[in-house]
Homo-oligomer: A and B are copies of this chain.
Amino acid sequence: MSVTKRYLMTPGPTPVPAEVLLTMARPIIHHRTAEFEATIAEATQGLQYIFNTQNEVLMFASSGTGAMESAIVNCFCAGDKVIVARNGKFGDREKSIAETYGLQVIDLCYEWNEVVKVADIKDTLAAHPDVRGLIVTQSETSTGVLNPIKEIAALLRDMPDTLMIVDSITGIGAMECATDDWGLDVVMTGSQKGLMLPPGLAAVSVSEKAWQATQRSTLPKFYFDWKKYRKSLQKNTTPFTPALTLIQGLNEALKLMQAEGRENIIARHSLLAEATRKGVEAIGLQLFAPPEGRGSAVTPVWSPQGIPAGKIVKLMKEGYGVTMTNGQDDYKDRIFRIGHLGYFGMFDIITALTALEMALTSLGYDFEQGASISAAETVFLQAQNEKDGEGVQ
A167 to chain B, nearest CB (A): 13
Which one, B10, B16, B242, contacts A63 given CB within 8 A? B242
Does A28 interact with chain B (Cβ within 8 Å)?
Answer: yes
Asked whether, in the complex, the Cβ of A31 is within 8 Å of the Cβ of B13, the reply is yes
Q: Considering the chains assembled together, what is the distance between the CA atoms of A303 and B200 in angstroms?
A: 38
Chain A 100-120, CB-CB to B under 8 Å as 1, else 0, gives 111000000000000000000
Interface size on A, residues (CB 8 A): 55
Asked whether, in the complex, the Cβ of A65 is within 8 Å of the Cβ of B240, the reply is yes
Q: Considering the chains assembled together, what is the distance between the CA atoms of A323 and B36 in angstroms?
A: 13
Asked whether, in the complex, the Cβ of B220 is within 8 Å of the Cβ of A30, the reply is no
Q: Considering the chains assembled together, what is the distance between the CA atoms of A8 and B101 in angstroms?
A: 41
Does A54 interact with chain B (Cβ within 8 Å)?
Answer: no
Does A22 interact with chain B (Cβ within 8 Å)?
Answer: yes
Chain A 130-145, CB-CB to B under 8 Å as 1, else 0, gives 0000000000000000
Q: Collect the chain B residues with CB atoms within 8 Å of residue A240's CB.
A: 63-66
Q: Collect the chain B residues with CB atoms within 8 Å of residue A224's CB.
A: 223
A367 to chain B, nearest CB (A): 27
Asked whether, in the complex, the Cβ of A66 is within 8 Å of the Cβ of B15, the reply is no
Asked whether, in the complex, the Cβ of B21 is within 8 Å of the Cβ of A66, the reply is no
Q: Collect the chain B residues with CB atoms within 8 Å of residue A222's CB.
A: 65, 69, 96-97, 100-101
Q: Considering the chains assembled together, what is the distance between the CA atoms of A6 and B317 in angstroms?
A: 42
Q: Collect the chain B residues with CB atoms within 8 Å of residue A243's CB.
A: 63, 198-200, 243
Asked whether, in the complex, the Cβ of B198 is within 8 Å of the Cβ of A61, the reply is no
Q: Which of A16-71 contact B (CB under 8 A)?
A: 16, 21-22, 24-33, 60-66, 69
Does A374 interact with chain B (Cβ within 8 Å)?
Answer: no
Beyond A61-B199, A222-B97, A243-B199, whether A10 also contacts B25 by CB under 8 A is no
Q: Considering the chains assembled together, what is the distance between the CA atoms of A192 and B6 in angstroms?
A: 30
Does A190 interact with chain B (Cβ within 8 Å)?
Answer: yes
Asked whether, in the complex, the Cβ of A15 is within 8 Å of the Cβ of B27, the reply is yes
Q: Nearest CB to that of A20 among chain B residues?
A: B25
Which one, B22, B190, B192, B220, contacts A25 given CB within 8 A? B22
Asked whether, in the complex, the Cβ of B101 is within 8 Å of the Cβ of A220, the reply is yes
Q: Which of A347-370 contact B (CB under 8 A)?
A: none
Does A88 interact with chain B (Cβ within 8 Å)?
Answer: no
Q: Considering the chains assembled together, what is the distance between the CA atoms of A10 and B6 in angstroms?
A: 39
Asked whether, in the complex, the Cβ of A242 is within 8 Å of the Cβ of B28, the reply is no
Does A231 interact with chain B (Cβ within 8 Å)?
Answer: no
Asked whether, in the complex, the Cβ of A30 is within 8 Å of the Cβ of B15, the reply is no
A186 to chain B, nearest CB (A): 16
Does A241 interact with chain B (Cβ within 8 Å)?
Answer: yes
Asked whether, in the complex, the Cβ of B223 is within 8 Å of the Cβ of A66, the reply is yes
Q: Which of A268-323 contact B (CB under 8 A)?
A: 317, 323
Does A14 interact with chain B (Cβ within 8 Å)?
Answer: yes
Most buried by B among A8, A65, A96, A201: A65
Q: Considering the chains assembled together, what is the distance between the CA atoms of A244 and B201 in angstroms?
A: 11
Most buried by B among A15, A24, A63, A201: A63
Q: Considering the chains assembled together, what is the distance between the CA atoms of A33 and B33 in angstroms?
A: 39
Q: Nearest CB to that of A324 among chain B residues?
A: B30
Q: Collect the chain B residues with CB atoms within 8 Å of residue A26's CB.
A: 21
Asked whether, in the complex, the Cβ of A220 is within 8 Å of the Cβ of B29, the reply is no
Most buried by B among A12, A243, A244: A243
Asked whether, in the complex, the Cβ of A25 is within 8 Å of the Cβ of B24, the reply is yes
- Provide 11 A-B residue pairs closer than 8 Å at the C-beta atoms, listed in order of the A residue: A6-B27, A14-B28, A15-B28, A24-B245, A30-B325, A62-B62, A63-B240, A64-B240, A65-B241, A200-B246, A220-B220
Among all A-B residue pairs, the 4 with the closest Cβ atoms: A200-B243, A198-B245, A25-B25, A21-B25
